[in-house]
Structures are given as C-alpha cells and as structure tokens.
Structure 1
Amino acid sequence: MASSTLTLKFFSLLISSLAIVQMAMADPDILSDFIAPPNGTVDGNFFTFTGLRVLISRAEPTDFTVLKATMAEFPALNGQSVSYAILQFPAGSTNPPHTHPRSAELLFLVDGTLEVGFVDTKNNLFTQTLQAGDLFVFPKGLVHFQYNADSENPALAISAFGSASAGTVSLPSTLFATNIDDMVLALSFKTDVATIQKLKAGLSPKP
C-alpha cells in the first residue's frame, strides 16, 4: 500500500512538473489590454513598427534574408502571442533546417515558388511545392525548411507565429558552430573528425 501511494505521488509530481514546463514554454496570458513599457509614452507610435519599410526601397538581397517583427524588435507585441517574419529568397537559396520551439509557423507565399517541408516525431517527411498565394503550416517545434529551387527568380514569403517570441534553432549553426566536441559530432553522424571540422569551417563567420 505504501508503495502504491509513493508511486501515485511520484506520477502526480511528474504530471505537475510537465504542466509547469508547458506553461513556461507558452506565451503567458496577460490581465490587461497590453503591456506598457516601464519608461516611455504609450501612444500610436508604441503600437507601430516601421522596421519593414526597408523592403520598399532596398535592392534584392543576394543571400536568404529574414526580417523579424518579434517582441525583441517590436516591444508592443509583449503579451500578444503574435509575431511576423518576412522571408526573402534569392534564386537558388534556402532557409536551412530549423525549429521554432515556442510556436507553429503559418507561411504565406507572396511571390515566386518554394519547396517546403517538415519532419514529424516519427521521422515522416512532408513536402510541398508552393505557388504564390499558397499557405503552409509548420507544426510547433518540428524541424522544417524552405528552398527556392528556381535558378532565376526570387521568392518572397510572410510567416506568422502564435508567439511574440517563437525562437529559432538553426540546426547547422546549433550543431556545428557552438563548439560541440568534434568526436561527439563524428560519432553522432557516423563520420570522422576531419569531416566534422570541414563542416565547422564552412559555417565559420566570414572575415
């Protein structure tokens, strides 16, 4: 009987802990219309983000580019559980495999074509070729990618997130640009240290 009680307490503690972790990963509900900055004036300017105006005047980028409107760039999003990103894909460019740990991503393709896909927790790969005007959803936390396979034309997409700070974990950078031990990576990828070092060198910041 004592063993059963101990087991029940253990599972209750485990379930409570998981609930707390889940709550910590989600945007918290707020008890006011918005979260005002600790110092500063709240007027129309506070609720306006002008950081995307550069899209109107600047030249097309030569590499894949992301312009973000998250809580970090746009403080008025704090507590609102929404954010945006504008994705610019020059011909033949890719947004490498990555995850967003705190939100799903709803991508709208404005112009061009994109090859997109994600892998679920059973290692099933789901892919699609998007045309301008299409929407595609990447489930929360799953590894996904986008690729402009067109060798001549750029593509432009808008991504919406259900979090003011969805977070991005880029797999190439996370694995090969964070000083994880070469032997750990070599064993994990069933290759040799020399190959891992070549991958790391390729991801080193350009001088």
Structure 2
Amino acid sequence: MATKLQFFLVLILSCATLQISMAGDPDILSDFIVPPGFSSPIDGNFFTFTGMRALVNATFPTTFKVTKAAMAEFPALNGQSVSYAVLQFPNGTVNPPHTHPRASELLLLTMGSLEVGFVDTTNNLFTQTLQKGDIFVFPKGLVHFQFNSDANNPALAISAFGSANAGTVSVPNTVFNTTIDDQILALSFKTDVATIQKIKSGFSG
C-alpha cells in the first residue's frame, strides 16, 4: 500500500513539475512557424521587422507611447518566445500599473531617468530610480509601473519580453473602464458609488 501511495505521489509531483516547466510559450517542433495563408517567399524579409524605423529621427511624442514588436506586428516571432517594445516617456508621464500575464519584462533605459516598481504577491513594493544604461526586471504576471518624474526631460526605454505575445492588462483601465458594477467597485475600494462614477468618467471619451 505504501509503495502504491509513494508511486502516486511521485507521479503527481512529476506532473506538477512538467506543468511548471511548460508555463511559458509552448516549444515548437520546427525551426519557425509560417502563418497560415502566407504567400510570400520565406526569405530574410520574413525575419525582419522594420516598424521601429518610424521612431528614428522622429519628433518625440507628447504623451506616453509604446511601439511593439510582438507576434501581432511581427509574425515570425510565433514560437520564438521573445518580443520587444519601445517605450517613450515625455517629461512627467506614466505607464500606469499593469501586468503581463504571459511574460517577465526586462527593461533597458536608453535615455533619461525613470521611477519603476512592482508589487509582489505579498504586497511588497520594490522600486528603483533608473539612470541611462540601467536594466530592471519585472517578474512575470506582477503589477508594475514606470514613471518619468523629470519635469524637463523625456525618457526612452526598450523592453524585452519572454513571450511572443506577453499580453498587457492595464489595472486602471480594466477596473474602471469595463462594466464591473459600481456598487461592487465602491465596496471593493471602500468608497461610495459617486466617487467610482467620477473616476470612471475620466476614462470615457
């Protein structure tokens, strides 16, 4: 009986370990994946993304802007478990609290300075002030933010993700720009419906 129980426990642990090891993008059984219906010849162009060229010598935006090179924009990334984003922060702008459910994020600051931070599952806040050349990692799935507190200078960062499709869940937008009942939000945030409606009005239009 004990032997059967031990075998059963080992089997469960093995399955759990396998699930953990497969928690990222699935491995592919070919060198790369060609999208269905793709008619162009597969050459160097397929593996080249030119979408960032628009940023070279362009006027810096007046609001926070993200330019992505993920699977939707760059189909050759399918199955490769990587993607990029360029984040442009005019002075005094923020990338609001958000999560990437399918990937960790490695941010390299190439211009200016940034206040960054994330909150772990025990509600500990980890923050840092990054300077040009610094790298910061945001663990997978955790709520995090970036803020350019410099009133005079912009900031530019490049983020690498451990998924071809990391996903982004904006906390403010998800909470206040969906159809979650106002009473539920008021109780959850320990406030009143009028306050919730005032916050929601900032997301309309």
Q: TM-score when scaled to structure 2?
A: 0.89
Deviations 1:157-179 (A, max 9, x none): 00000100011000000000011
Name the residue aligned to 2:134: 134
Q: Structure 1's 197 and 101: CA in aligned 2 closer, same or farther, altered over 3 A?
A: same
Q: For the aligned residues, what is the CA RMSD?
A: 2.1
Name the residue aligned to 1:159: 159
Cα distance in 2 for partners of 1:29, 1:18 equals 16
Shifted more, 131-140 versus 48-57: the winner is: 48-57
Name the residue aligned to 1:35: 33
Name the residue aligned to 1:65: 65
Instruction: Report the alpha carbon displacement of residue 21 of structure 1 after superposing the two structures with TM.
Output: 8.7
Deviations 1:93-140 (A, max 9, x none): 000000011111000000000000000111000000000000000001
Q: Which runs of 5+ in 1 are unaligned?
A: none
Name the residue aligned to 1:193: 193
- Matched letter for residue 63 of structure 1: T
Q: Which runs of 5+ in 2 are unaligned?
A: none
Instruction: Report the alpha carbon displacement of residue 44 of structure 1 after superposing the two structures with TM.
Output: 1.0
Cα distance in 2 for partners of 1:17, 1:197 equals 44
Cα distance in 1 for partners of 2:123, 2:99 equals 14
Instruction: Report the alpha carbon displacement of residue 58 of structure 1 after superposing the two structures with TM.
Output: 2.5
Number of corresponding residues: 197
Q: Structure 1's 71 and 134: CA in aligned 2 closer, same or farther, altered over 3 A?
A: same
Cα distance in 2 for partners of 1:17, 1:117 equals 31
**Alignment partner of 1:95 is 2:100:** no
Q: Secondary structure at the match of 1:52?
A: helix
- Matched letter for residue 24 of structure 2: A
- Matched letter for residue 149 of structure 1: S
Deviations 1:13-53 (A, max 9, x none): x9958965984x52110111111122222111110111111
Name the residue aligned to 1:85: 85
- Matched letter for residue 31 of structure 1: L
Q: Structure 1's 122 and 62: CA in aligned 2 closer, same or farther, altered over 3 A?
A: same
Name the residue aligned to 2:121: 121
Instruction: Report the alpha carbon displacement of residue 204 of structure 1 after superposing the two structures with TM.
Output: 1.6
Q: Structure 1's 132 and 193: CA in aligned 2 closer, same or farther, altered over 3 A?
A: same
Identity %: 70
Q: TM-score when scaled to structure 1?
A: 0.88
Cα distance in 1 for partners of 2:14, 2:148 equals 43
Cα distance in 2 for partners of 1:191, 1:74 equals 44
